[in-house]
Amino acid sequence: MNERFRGSYIAKIDDRGRVKIPAKYLSVLEQDPGGEVYLTSVNGDHILLYPMKVWRAIEKKIAAIPVRDPDLEEFVSRSSYWGSESEIDSKGRILVPPDLRAASKLESSLLILGKIDYLVIWNKEVFEARYMGGLFSDEKMHRISRLFNEFPSLPRNE
C-alpha cells in the first residue's frame, strides 16, 4: 500500500444502508484491485473497514499462532460475528449490513476516520462523546513518544 488513510471525513448513509467512501480514501482502496473490503466490529459500536489485502494479512498472522490466547479467540469470534465481505460499487459506496448498521447507530451523520491501513466508521455524536470530551494529556503524549522511539527507523531506501 503506497498511500495511507489519513484524516477524517463527514459522510452520510442512504436509506438502503450504503455509505459513500470519500474520494481520498477511495483512491487508496482502489490500489487493491477488485474493490473488496471486509467490514467488521468488535463491540458493534463502530465499524472497522479493512481493504481485503490488509484483512488477509491479519488472518494469516492469526492462523500462524499454534495455541491461541482466549482474548485472541474472542477477537476472532466477535470479528466473525459482525464481519462481512463487501465490494465497493461503481459509485464508490459500500453496503453496511442491517445488524451492524443498527448496533453502531449509523443513522445520519457519520465520521469516517483514516487509521493508516484501515478505516473506522462511527456515528459522529457517539465518537465525539467517547473521545473528544477531554484533553489528550501530556502523560499520554509521552507514552506515544516512547512507542515511536521503541522502533528503529527504516533506512531511507526502504
Domain count, the chain: 1
How confident is the model over 105-154, as pLDDT tens digits?
998 789 999 999 999 999 999 999 999 988 888 998 888 888 888 776 65
Residue 77: pLDDT band (50, 70, 90) is very high
Examine residue 101 and state whether it is found in any structural domain, yes or no.
Answer: yes
Examine residue 122 and state whether it is found in any structural domain, yes or no.
Answer: yes
* CATH assignment of the domain containing 101: 3.40.1550.20
Examine residue 152 and state whether it is found in any structural domain, yes or no.
Answer: no
The pLDDT of residue 108 is 78
Exposure string of 84-106, with b = 16+ CB inside 10 Å and e = fewer, is: eebebeeebbbbbeeebbebbbb
Cell numbers 464508490 correspond to 92
Report whether 88 contacts 28 (CB < 8 A): no
Examine residue 61 and state whether it is found in any structural domain, yes or no.
Answer: yes
How far is Cα 82 from Cα 50, in angstroms, rounded to an integer? 13
Domain that holds residue 45: 8-133
Q: 71 by DSSP, 3-state: which?
A: helix
Torsion of CA 138, 116, 72, 129, to 10 degrees: 50
The pLDDT of residue 152 is 63
For the chain, give the percent of residues with pLDDT over 90: 72
Q: Which residue has the higher pLDDT, 3 or 119?
A: 119
Examine residue 157 and state whether it is found in any structural domain, yes or no.
Answer: no
Examine residue 155 and state whether it is found in any structural domain, yes or no.
Answer: no
The pLDDT of residue 115 is 96
The pLDDT of residue 154 is 57
How confident is the model over 23-51, as pLDDT tens digits?
999 999 988 777 899 999 999 999 999 99
